Amino acid sequence: MSALGHEVVIADNFARRRIAEELDAPSLTPIASIDERLNTWKDVSGHDIDIVELDIAHDYPELRRLLASVRPDAIVHFAEQRAAPYSMRDAAHKVYTVDNNINGTHNVLAAMAELRLDAHLVHLGTMGVYGYGSDGLEIPEGYLDINIDGPDGARYPRKILYPSRPGNICHLTKSMDQLMFQFYAGNDHLRITDLHQGIVWGTQTEETRLDPALINRFDYDGDFGTVLNRFLMQAAAGHPLTVNGTGGQTRAFINIQDTVRCVALALDNPPAAGDPVRIINQIAETHRVRDLAELVSRLTGAEIEYVDNPRSEAAENELAVSNATLRGLGLEPILLRDALLTETVDIALRFIERANFDAIPATVSWSGGVEREIPQIE
Ligand code: USQ
């Protein structure tokens, strides 16, 4: 957004850096301090970005003060605990995820309403709110048109939120967010877009390629690493590709470059005040996990290992998802292709000495929490 000429203020409590220490799983790529990142961005782009250290979930007065002084045109809300496995570690992590995500989202909405901010809120949601079985149907964008039989024999059309079927606590919070958005869009006429994003892969965007100090995180650990990036890192590490169960799960994917394009497209196309929440499926394509493992294995020669699935999820599922809105807005998504896969493997190889191999296995079980001792969150 800064590259496009917008004035940007970041509010961050640096939770992700603390969690990386808690898990002893630093980003594979070295992440510079926020000051160094912002100074580098200023050098390469000429643009200033302000940073405010703020816990939006627990410091409502400061959040309110910040929004009252900046009065932004738009708020991009990326401040939720985003990892499904991390949210399932144990009761403490479930409590943390619910507390952080629900309070953070509600505080932003309450502040927007209290200050009568005419800002457009763009929220990072997830495909996980739908559950993953589509039984051959194409999952629509957020809403379902239904008809209810009335007592008079007539059929009453209704538009309802697509039934939520979260499979973990992180996705439960994002399902609950939907009701908060629906309420504030109706009651306070807030303008809200919820991006139901798929699994992100890749590391670099056009901007992060400009300087090594701007590189994105590369998470490969069992909690925060998403499946394709994990496979690419495992290939670089000479580790077998860890396919859960039969690898029959079909999921939606999007390259990291497209995630930022989509946020920009959403910001350029806000709903009007009084409109329902705009829900956009932010995905490029769907793939079955074992097919991805085979693709990475063909590309790199890595072995594939089928491991017991620690999650409660369907062994096999079909998934078809509409991404009509983003395509209608002109997005031509990046599809899996060797060039970007190779770039990711090259990055993994470049930084492989930073990896903690003990963090590779996925240890969080959906039924019994984590299998190893971990420190409690302060
Ligand atoms: N999987 C493996 N091997 C691995 C890691 C994962 O087989 O080493 C499988 C999982 O069992 C699952 C699939 O790959 O069936 C996807 O797992 P993932 O960890 O890449 O993604 P997921 O847990 O679904 O969640 C991630 C983020 C979450 C985001 C979601 C988008 O943690 O924040 O909401 O991607 S989506 O899945 O489209 O809802």
Q: What is the ipTM of this complex?
A: 0.96
Going from the Cα of 20 to the center of ligand 1, the distance in angstroms, rounded, reads 18
Cβ(215)–Cβ(204) below 8 Å: yes
Q: Is 124 in the pocket of ligand 1 (CB under 6 A)?
A: no
pLDDT of 84 above 80: yes
**Residue 369's pLDDT is what?**
64
Q: Is 283 in the pocket of ligand 1 (CB under 6 A)?
A: no
pLDDT of 315 above 80: yes
Residue 238 backbone zone (phi > 0: left; psi -120 to 50: alpha; other: beta): left
Q: Specify which residues 9 forms β-bridges with.
A: 50
**Residue 325's pLDDT is what?**
97
Higher-confidence position of 372 and 325: 325
Best mutation site among 78, 124, 126 for ligand 1 pocket (most ligand atoms within 8 Å of CB): 126
Best mutation site among 251, 262, 363, 366 for ligand 1 pocket (most ligand atoms within 8 Å of CB): 251
Atom 16, ligand 1: residue with shortest CA distance = 227
pLDDT of 25 above 80: yes
Atom 25, ligand 1: residue with shortest CA distance = 84
pLDDT of 376 above 70: no
Mean predicted confidence (pLDDT) in 68-96? 98
Best mutation site among 289, 291, 313 for ligand 1 pocket (most ligand atoms within 8 Å of CB): 289
**Residue 136's pLDDT is what?**
81
Cβ(178)–Cβ(102) below 8 Å: no
Cβ(314)–Cβ(249) below 8 Å: yes
What integer best gives the mean pLDDT of the chain? 95
CA neighbor of 60 nearest in space, from 137, 6, 114: 114
What digits encode the pLDDT tens for the residues 229-255?
999 999 999 999 999 999 999 999 999
pTM over 0.90: yes
Q: What is the CATH number of domain 8-370?
A: 3.40.50.720
CA neighbor of 308 nearest in space, from 347, 366, 262: 366
Q: Is 364 in the pocket of ligand 1 (CB under 6 A)?
A: no
**Residue 133's pLDDT is what?**
80
Q: Is 310 in the pocket of ligand 1 (CB under 6 A)?
A: no
**Residue 339's pLDDT is what?**
74
**Residue 377: pLDDT band by 50, 70, 90 thresholds?**
low
**Residue 135's pLDDT is what?**
82
Q: Is 355 in the pocket of ligand 1 (CB under 6 A)?
A: no
**Residue 340's pLDDT is what?**
83
Going from the Cα of 132 to the center of ligand 1, the distance in angstroms, rounded, reads 11
**Residue 222's pLDDT is what?**
98
State percent of the chain over pLDDT 90.
Answer: 94
DSSP 127: G
Mean predicted confidence (pLDDT) in 182-199? 98
Going from the Cα of 225 to the center of ligand 1, the distance in angstroms, rounded, reads 8
Cβ(178)–Cβ(194) below 8 Å: yes
- Ligand 1 atom nearest residue 174's Cα: 34
Best mutation site among 199, 242, 243, 305 for ligand 1 pocket (most ligand atoms within 8 Å of CB): 199
**Residue 375's pLDDT is what?**
52
Atom 11, ligand 1: residue with shortest CA distance = 244
Mean predicted confidence (pLDDT) in 59-84? 98
What residues does each domain of the chain span?
8-370
**Residue 134: pLDDT band by 50, 70, 90 thresholds?**
confident
**Residue 87: pLDDT band by 50, 70, 90 thresholds?**
very high
**Residue 202's pLDDT is what?**
95
Q: Specify which residues 120 forms β-bridges with.
A: 74, 191
Q: Which two tokens stand for residue 251?
A: 């999921």
**Residue 69's pLDDT is what?**
98
What digits encode the pLDDT tens for the residues 136-181?
899 999 999 999 999 999 999 999 999 999 999 999 999 999 999 9
Going from the Cα of 224 to the center of ligand 1, the distance in angstroms, rounded, reads 9
Strand 369-370, strand 191-197: pairing: unpaired
Q: H or E element: which one contains 128?
A: none
